[in-house]
Copies of this chain bind each other. A is one copy, B any other.
Amino acid sequence: MGDSPVVAIVGAGLVGSGWALVFARAGCEVRVYDPDEPTRSRLPAWIEASAADLESNGLIASAAEVIGRVRLCESLPEALDGATYVQESVFETVESKTAACLAIDKAMSPQTIVGSSSSGIPASQFTGNCRHRQNFLIAHPVNPPHLVPVVELVPAPWTDPSALEQVRELMNRVGQVPVHVRREIDGFVLNRLQGALLNEAWALYEEGYASLADIDATISHGLGLRWSFMGPFETIDLNAPGGIADYAARLAPLYYRMATQRVPRKWPQETIEQAQAERREVLAEEDLAERRLWRDSVLSRLAAFKKTNGLGP
C-alpha cells in the first residue's frame, strides 16, 4: 500500500462511518458502499457533524478537506475500484460477513487487503471460501473508531503474515493503535477483558453488594482514570515499590482467592431486568441516542486532551 492508499469501506453503519473519518482525516481517498439506501443516505450528514466536532476540538485542521475525501458509491465494484485496502463493516452475523466477504473477494484485485470490523467472530468462520482468503483478517475497532484508536488485528490461520504487517503499518500511519492478537480466540483480547470485568460486576450487583450506580462509580471515578492512559499491567507495575513482580508477590493470593469464589454463571434474566429498570430511571429510553452523542462528544474532548498531553497514539 502506498502512503495514502485508496480505502473502501463496505457497510456504512456507525462503525463504517467512523472508519471513513479515520482514513479521510489521514489523507486517504475513501469510497463508501452500503447496499442499504437509507443507511447510505444518512452518511453525509453524520460525516459533516462529526468532522465539525473534530475540527472544533483541534483534532483536524479542516473539516471541509476531510469531508471532500469521502465519496459515496452506488455499487461495490465502484467502491473497490483502485482500493488497496477494504474495511468490511457489515452487520455482525456469520451469514452477513460471509456474503460480504465473498462479494468483496470477487470484485477486488489480488493485491487488495481486507480487514473485518468483527468484534467477536473470528475470520476463519467467514473467509474460508474466498479465493484470496490469505488477504483477509480481523481489524476490530472500538466504537466509534475515529475517537477510540485501538484496533485488534487477528489473523485467520490462512492469513498471509505480510497482509497482517501491511494492515499494522496502515493503522499506525492513520493514527490508530494496532494490537496484535496472535491467534483466534472468542472475544479476542478486548472483549475478554471487558467480559471478565462485566461478569464480576453482574455477580456483585446480583448478590446485592452494591447498586448499579455505585459499581459504575468505582470505575468512572476510580479505576478508569488510570486506565484511560495506562494499561492494567503498567498500573500494577507502578503500584508496588519493586514493580509488577513485587505487586504479584503481595496481591496474587488475594486475586486467586477472589477467582475461586466465582463459578461461571449466565447473567440472570431477573437481574438484567432490574438493571434495565434502574438504568431507565436515570436515562429514559428515548434519551439513549442523545446520551450517545454526549459520550462521543466527551470522547472527542478526551482525545484532544490526550493529544495535548502527549498521551495519544
- List the interface of chain A (C-beta within 8 A of B): 120, 142-143, 147-150, 152, 177, 179-183, 185-187, 189-201, 204-205, 208-234, 236-239, 241-245, 248, 252, 254-262, 264-267, 272-273, 275-276, 279-280, 283, 285, 288, 291-292, 295, 298-299, 301-303, 305, 309, 311, 313
Q: Which chain B residue shows the least CB distance to A201?
A: B232
When the two chains form the complex, which single residue of B185, B214, B228 contacts A224, counting CB atoms closer than 8 Å? B228
Complexed CA–CA distance, A150 and B275 (Å): 22
Whether B220 contacts A244 by the Cβ 8 Å rule is no
> With a CB–CB cut-off of 8 A, which chain B residues contact A226?
148, 224, 295, 299
Given A198-B236, A217-B231, A238-B291; A222-B142 close (CB under 8 Å): yes
Whole-angstrom distance between the Cβ of A205 and the nearest chain B Cβ: 8
Contact of A243 among B193, B279, B295 (CB under 8 A): B279
Q: How far is the CA of A210 from the CA of B305 in the complex (A)?
A: 28
Cβ 8 A contact of A228, one of B217, B264, B302: B302
Q: What are 10 A-B interface contacts by the 8 Å CB criterion?
A: A120-B254, A177-B221, A187-B254, A194-B232, A201-B233, A221-B313, A223-B227, A229-B298, A237-B288, A245-B276
Bound CA–CA A183/B272 (angstroms): 22
Kindly identify which residue among B209, B212, B217 contacts A182, using a CB–CB cutoff of 8 Å: B209
For A92, the closest partner residue in chain B by CB is B250
Is B256 touching A222 in the complex (CB atoms < 8 A)?
Answer: no
Contacts of A194 in B (CB 8 A): 223, 232
Q: Which residue in chain B gives the minimum CB-CB distance to A259? A: B264
Contact B256 A264 (CB under 8 A): yes
A193 engages B244 (CB within 8 Å): no
Would you give the shortest CB distance from A39 to chain B, in whole angstroms?
14
Q: Decide if A302 touches B198 in the complex (CB within 8 Å).
A: no
Of all chain B residues, the one with the shortest Cβ separation from A261 is B186
Query: In the assembly, what is the distance between CA of A225 and CA of B300, in Å?
Result: 10
B189, B264, B279: the one contacting A244 at CB < 8 Å is: B279
Complexed CA–CA distance, A201 and B216 (Å): 21
User: Which residues of B sit under 8 angstroms from A256, Cβ to Cβ?
Assistant: 264-267
Chain B contacts for A273, CB-based, 8 A: 245
Given contact pairs A233-B275, A305-B305, a sample of 15 additional A-B residue pairs in the complex whose CB atoms are under 8 Å apart:
A142-B222, A180-B210, A181-B214, A187-B254, A190-B223, A191-B258, A193-B219, A201-B233, A217-B231, A224-B226, A224-B229, A225-B303, A243-B285, A260-B264, A298-B309
A266–B120 alpha-carbon span in the complex (Å): 27
| Beta-carbon contact of A258 and B218 below 8 Å | no
